[in-house]
Structure 1
Amino acid sequence: MLNEPHAIRRFSWPVTLLWLSAVLIALGSYRFLIADIALVMPAMLHHALDRPMLLYLHIGLAPIALALLPMQFSKRLRRRHLALHRWLGRLYAAVIFLSGLGAIGLAMTTDQGAVAGLGLGALALAWLGTTGLAVWYAIQRQIAQHRAWMIRSAALTLAAVTLRLYLPIGLLTVGFEASYPLICWLCWVPNALVAEWLLRRAGKAATGQPA
């Protein structure tokens, strides 16, 4: 059986930093509640004007999924409060379903070009797909597969973190317009590859093979 906590706990400090970043970015994502979106999210202004429902569905719910990740991967929470873990998992899946649908609509109508739109659209579809499979395997009580697909889902949820790491780099080097289409792919494809590497490593460790 895949033991996903073992797959990540060997990197305790990076993981702790990652969870902290996830929570802080989730909180910071709600800055649109206290300031004009034209000031705090200028790249989203056209969405706010033309399709506010899709925009707020996405930016209002996606941070909840991001903030839930540390709790959902807490071994202590699962052991001591399994019912809470399950209810938070349902909430995680629900907000991703709604936010992901909003993200697809936003990707199809972005003004940043086809490359950016395809990158964001592919991310949204993969996010919905991996999370849906995680839920399916949880319902089927196939826990090893559930954990594996949750790792994949988490990697895509964490695109919100890596996106914010790449944006200032792109802005300071080639500029927003030139870098953003590439960032729309870089923010999640490497995450997905790292998730697969972790799963492969954990699988080899479980069978006694060299990592």
Structure 2
Amino acid sequence: MAVSAVGIAAVFVPPYLTGSSFAPIDRSIVGYYASLVAHAGPAGLTLVLGPLQFVPRLRTRYPRLHRIVGRVYLVSVVAASAAALYAATVSPSGFPLQVAFSLLAAAWLYTAAQAYRTIRRGEVRLHRIWMIRNYALTFGAVTLRLYLLAGLALAKLVPSLTFRDVYTTAGWAAVLGNVLIAEYFIVHRILAPSARRVQDSSDRGGSEEAAAMRASISSRIGR
């Protein structure tokens, strides 16, 4: 995940900054290119920094670094999502893709706010869950391009597929696919094991309580 994130950031962010992109940029739209540049810089930073926050050894051995990187990451998400909301609004890529990118930017901003709110309250477990959701949306920049490359390869075999068709499908697949994978991971790797531990603890507690009651009764009978 980290390697693909760094690779996508290295390959696709610089072209935005130099005025080119894999998708056409209509410079006649007021502020469109500027919003893409304002989005690409901090978004690329979030792609690179995000994987570091999920390494347990780094969190444990360097907690201060974890907090500093986390603040930089969240500030970058706010900047990138604000620029993305404007870019999605004026994008010439069509209404379906505008909706997909607007939802992505709004969810990206919301999950970042929730991650910040929970860690400020000391709710570490919830903070981790919200950060998983947030980085899943960040990683949409990677899956979008993978789906797009696959779609363009398919378009060579199906001439009726246009670039807009492929781009729109890739955009929605990146958003929905990453969200579903993140929720599956949260349920099966975080919530389910926690629920089992609570159940096991409850069962042990019940057994110990029953044993104590039996011992108390036996002692009374013995007396």
TM-score over 0.5 for the pair: yes
Which of 20, 27, 30 pairs up with 1:50?
30
Identify the residue that residue 96 of structure 1 maps to in structure 2: 77
Superposition deviation, residue 49 in structure 1: 6.4
| AA partner of residue 185 (structure 1) | W
SS in structure 2 opposite 1:50?
A: coil
Q: Where does structure 2 lack aligned partners over 5 or more consecutive residues?
A: 155-160, 198-223
Q: Measure, in 2, the Cα distance between the counterparts of 1:134 and 1:153.
A: 8
Which of 177, 180, 198 pairs up with 1:190?
177
Superposition deviation, residue 29 in structure 1: 2.6
Larger radius of gyration: 2
Superposition deviation, residue 43 in structure 1: 2.1
**Count of residue pairs brought into register by the alignment:** 189
The 5 Å alignment of 1:1-211 reads 18-32=1-15, 36-38=18-20, 41-46=21-26, 50-51=30-31, 52-173=33-154, 174-201=161-188, 202-208=190-196
| AA partner of residue 13 (structure 2) | Y
| AA partner of residue 22 (structure 1) | A
| AA partner of residue 54 (structure 1) | S
Task: Say which is worse superposed, 176-185 or 46-55, in terms of deviation.
Answer: 46-55
TM-superposition CA deviations, 1:150-173 (whole Å, max 9, x none) = 000010000011011111122122
Dislocated runs of 4+, deviation >4 Å: none
Q: Measure, in 1, the Cα distance between the counterparts of 2:19 and 2:85.
A: 20
Q: TM-score under structure 2 normalisation?
A: 0.79
Q: Measure, in 2, the Cα distance between the counterparts of 1:27 and 1:48.
A: 27
TM-superposition CA deviations, 1:100-132 (whole Å, max 9, x none) = 000000000111110000000000000000111
SS in structure 2 opposite 1:46?
A: coil
Q: Measure, in 2, the Cα distance between the counterparts of 1:60 and 1:194.
A: 26
Superposition deviation, residue 31 in structure 1: 2.5
* 2:35–2:87 CA contact under 8 A, matched in 1: yes
SS in structure 2 opposite 1:92?
A: helix
Q: Where does structure 1 lack aligned partners over 5 or more consecutive residues?
A: 1-17
Identical amino acids, percent of aligned pairs: 32
Q: Measure, in 1, the Cα distance between the counterparts of 2:27 and 2:172.
A: 20
- Please provide the CA RMSD for this pair: 1.8
Superposition deviation, residue 24 in structure 1: 1.2
Superposition deviation, residue 53 in structure 1: 2.7
TM-superposition CA deviations, 1:3-57 (whole Å, max 9, x none) = xxxxxxxxxxxxxxx11101111122332278x533xx05252158631331211
Q: Measure, in 1, the Cα distance between the counterparts of 2:13 and 2:84.
A: 17
